[in-house]
DNA sequence: CAGATGGATTGATCTATATCAGTGCATATT
DNA sequence: AATATGCACTGATATAGATCAATCCATCTG
């Protein structure tokens, strides 16, 4: 557990902004029903199909969320970085996880009982409102995902993935990837061989700099253009 | 406007179950801020990218929701039948529509101001709860969609579409399709030529009976198997 | 009624990308 | 030190499904 997050939710500097509307007593409710856990890279936080008891708030590290198809295929539907919590749609539907969450790096997370969320939605209208906004954003992200997958070629899809990583995950055009080539492929709906070939093409074309896991986007305009035109 | 829906929300027999938790005064709030509209087949209810002012409740007919990619490609992300309302994620985010809605048949709809929904979420905790459940269900449907699109061949995807139509839309194994072959293709992420070939294959294999727009699923087990194995 | 329009259908061809089958390299294990 | 394991990478091949090009048929239009 990170030093900044260990005492109580009330003074926590690693608190997701979803909790901003909560009053002191409500934060205490959460505080009484949470645990903080450390995960090593590669460890599963929860697995698709299992019952869901918690909302998971990532306080350090990074987590990948993926849908498992058959044995060897998966699709990464999102990456979660601090400070954000993992949206668990099953909590309000069938009490099952609809995707698997795995740590990509050493990660710490606060687990909060789903019942507390339900209670807070009832108690605090502003919290309910913020929560709906969050769910809506996730739905839009999924729609964008579907939009990107259909009728776009591998170059366009990988370009989209790189822009997503730069703009939303690492928040810089230079970053050290903590994802494998397979992960990049699972994010872009292609095989790892194709992912490798596309990255090489981008490198040869001078769109990115690439040395093992160090990536630098040199020509953002070009990458955006590729992402659009496919 | 249908006879059953025309007087007031209070006695309306075409009311979506999302409104069940509302008390009389809250239903009156909705009643004062709604309009009922008729659409012919092919008419647009709202278009992707335009501002969204309303939640749309379908009281008769059927509506297809699709994401527009480039000029000629689209993906149908959902069909809506009575009585259900159209989930509009932009209402809580950017006040924009993220997909287009078009009537597949003659359709009537009640349009309800999004602000009323926001107010009701604040006023009525149970309504907020039900609304979140609805959003969660939609998110799960989108996840299933992504899951089906990736790493499944056209036969599997079309099988999935037919099962979806039978189980969730027409609620029978025999139905008269009010969708075109192109629509079936847009639901299954393939070209209309492929859609036609796959349907013919299913027909030849004795899985379905097919005469122009009349479809009967003869061998559900087989279809489910194809949908799973791809 | 003739012609136009648009969906459904079929066949032939093309190509993007998966699959297969390796090699090389780094790290972990005994 | 020797071996095993796993990821990154590359080239050759196969193929699913798109694209292209017709034809057919029903409905709409002037």
Query: Each residue of A129-173: pLDDT tens digit?
Result: 999 999 999 999 999 999 888 888 999 999 999 999 999 999 999
Closest CA to A19 of A99, A148, A159, A117: A117
User: Three-state DSSP class for B94?
Assistant: coil
Residue B128 near residue A128, CB atoms below 8 Å: yes
Is the previous residue joined to B83 through a cis bond, with omega within 30 degrees of 0? yes
Q: How many A-B residue pairs are in contact by the CB < 8 A criterion?
A: 134
Q: What is the pLDDT of residue A163?
A: 96
User: Three-state DSSP class for A9?
Assistant: coil
Nucleic strand C near CB of residue A182 (< 7 Å): no
Tell me how far apart the alpha carbons of residues A81 and A107 are, in angstroms, rounded to a whole number.
Answer: 9
Q: At what angle do helices B114-123 and A125-149 cross, to 10 degrees?
A: 130
Please identify which residue in the block is written with the tokens 């809250």: B26
Question: pLDDT-derived band of residue A182, with 50, 70 and 90 as boundaries?
Answer: very high
A71 close contact with B: CB closer than 8 A: no
Tell me how far apart the alpha carbons of residues B123 and B121 are, in angstroms, rounded to a whole number.
Answer: 6
Q: Is the pLDDT of residue A1 over 50?
A: no
Question: Does the beta-carbon distance from B67 to A147 stay under 8 Å?
Answer: yes
User: Residue range B196-218: average pLDDT?
Assistant: 95
Element (H, E) at A154: helix A154-164
Q: Is the pLDDT of residue B221 over 70?
A: yes
Element (H, E) at A117: helix A114-123
Question: With a CB-CB cutoff of 8 Å, which residues 73-102 of chain A face chain B?
Answer: 73, 75, 77, 87, 89-93, 98-99
Nucleic strand D near CB of residue A201 (< 7 Å): no
- All residues at 6 or more sequence positions from B87 whose CB lies less than 8 Å from its CB, including other chains: A139, B134, B135, B138
Residue B62 near residue B105, CB atoms below 8 Å: yes
B141 close contact with A: CB closer than 8 A: no
Distance A48 CA to C18 C1' (A): 26
Nucleotides in chain D near protein beta carbons (<7 Å): 7-12, 16-21
Q: What is the pLDDT of residue B6?
A: 57
Is the previous residue joined to A83 through a cis bond, with omega within 30 degrees of 0? yes
Q: What is the DSSP letter of A150?
A: T
Residue range A58-111, pLDDT digits in tens:
999 999 999 998 777 899 999 999 989 998 999 999 999 999 999 999 999 999
What rounded mean pLDDT belongs to chain A? 91
Interface test with A, best of B122, B135, B145, B153 (most A CBs within 10 A): B135
């Amino acid at each position: 557990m990170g030093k900044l997050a260990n005492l109580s939710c009330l003074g926590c500097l690693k608190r997701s902004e979803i909790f901003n509307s909560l009053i002191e007593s409500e934060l205490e409710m959460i505080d009484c029903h949470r645990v903080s856990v450390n995960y090593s890279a590669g460890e599963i936080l929860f697995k698709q199909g299992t019952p869901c008891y918690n909302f998971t708030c990532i306080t350090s590290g990074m987590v990948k969320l993926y849908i498992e198809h058959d044995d060897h295929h998966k699709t990464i539907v999102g990456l979660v970085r601090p400070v954000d919590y993992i949206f668990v749609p099953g909590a309000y539907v069938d009490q099952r996880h609809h995707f698997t969450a795995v740590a990509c790096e050493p990660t710490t997370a606060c687990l909060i009982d789903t019942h507390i969320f339900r209670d807070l939605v009832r108690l605090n209208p502003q919290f309910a409102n913020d929560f709906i906004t969050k769910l809506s954003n996730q739905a839009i992200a999924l729609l964008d995902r579907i939009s990107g997958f259909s009728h776009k070629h591998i170059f366009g899809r990988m370009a989209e993935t790189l822009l997503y990583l730069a703009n939303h995950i690492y928040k810089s055009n230079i970053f050290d990837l903590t994802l494998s080539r397979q992960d990049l492929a699972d994010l872009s709906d292609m095989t790892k061989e194709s992912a490798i070939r596309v990255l090489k093409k981008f490198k040869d074309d001078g769109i990115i700099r690439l040395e093992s896991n160090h990536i630098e986007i040199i020509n953002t305009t070009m990458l955006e253009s590729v992402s659009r035109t496919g």
